[in-house]
Amino acid sequence: MQEYFLNFWGENSAMMEKVVANIAALRDFCKQNGIPVYYTAQPKEQSDEDRALLNDMWGPGLTRSPEQQQVIAALAPDEDDTVLVKWRYSAFHRSPLEEMLKETGRDQLIITGVYAHIGCMTTATDAFMRDIKPFFVADALADFSREEHLMALKYVAGRSGRVVMTEELLPLPASKAALRALILPLLDESDEPLDDENLIDYGLDSVRMMALAARWRKVHGDIDFVMLAKNPDHRRLVGAAHPRGAIMAALDFHGQTVWVTGAGKGIGYATALAFVEAGGQRHRGSTSPLTAKATRLPPKRWTSPMPTRYARHAAGCWRTPSV
């Protein structure tokens, strides 16, 4: 996430603000749980020999703007982080990353950053070929275009890793206030009283529902996205035991709470595809691009509303990274 590579989106990109926020949240969670954080960054000075074919493909690149070499301030590494020199698309190329992971007993890698279909995708595939499980965080990645972002998600999900959303990797909220803080930003008009109206009218569309379902699927395995979609005006949010402590049995969300628990395998991938296809933004009264595609159930091994043609991509992958 060096300044040079983020200049493509300009200074006021809502999408990039969200990506940066998601990466920051994941980084903070990792630090709180003793998970090592690694950065890769191209050096400001690179000889022609070091760049080699990169010059043919991209020209001088960052070396033309060395003042933009640093990682953006919002994600700047601290003394506890490891910063590796990035020489090629893969973070493993000419770096000790594999050895560092093995020395600490790690065989999983959470991948975020830019660009999804270049360095991030290549790193995920390289990790897979080294028997390291990559988790590709769709909404903590960015790319030049929707098509290239989708291509990266589909490639990794089908060939080398697990595509997830940020919310799937973060812990469940342990209080009513935490839940309200999580749900309110998902609503287009979060500053208005919700009263007893349908939350769909406030912007809780299928993409957001799937994100919530994926986040809490471990709470109630028998409640899936379909149940959530059919009951957007439920008064109670029923929970179970939080894996790290008690979560409230129910939450009265201004008289308008919803079921958000449970989901089947593959829901993260379906959510990720829908997120990118929708441009990362939804609007009140709009329809999810996934809604019309999810009418048929995928193969029996999947219980999520993932479009059938995408279901095979998540087959056989590991579920979630361990702390």
- Give the CA distances from residue 132 to residues 65, 153, 171, 274, in Å, rounded to whole numbers and listed in that order: 34, 18, 23, 27
The answer to whether 243 touches 182, Cβ cutoff 8 Å, is no
pLDDT confidence of residue 167: 80
Give the per-residue pLDDT at 187.
Answer: 67
pLDDT value for 35: 94
Report pLDDT for 280. Answer: 54
DSSP single-letter state for residue 172: P
Q: Let me know: does 310 contact 270? Beta carbons within 8 Å.
A: yes
| φ and ψ of 40, to 5 deg | -120, 135
* CA 158 centroid distance within chain: 17
CATH of 174-294, one of 1.10.1200.10, 3.40.50.620, 2.170.190.11, 3.20.20.70: 1.10.1200.10
Is the per-residue pLDDT at 131 higher than 90?
yes
| Range scoring the smallest mean pLDDT among 83-92, 140-149, 189-198 | 189-198
Nearest to 317 by CA among 145, 97, 136: 136
**Structure token digits, residue 293:** 């595609």
- pLDDT band, very low/low/confident/very high, at 10 (cuts 50, 70, 90): confident
**Where are the CATH 1.10.1200.10 domain residues in the chain?**
174-294
- Which one is the CATH code of 3-164: 3.10.20.30, 3.40.50.880, 3.40.50.850, 3.40.50.300? 3.40.50.850
Where in the chain do CATH 3.40.50.850 domains reside? 3-164
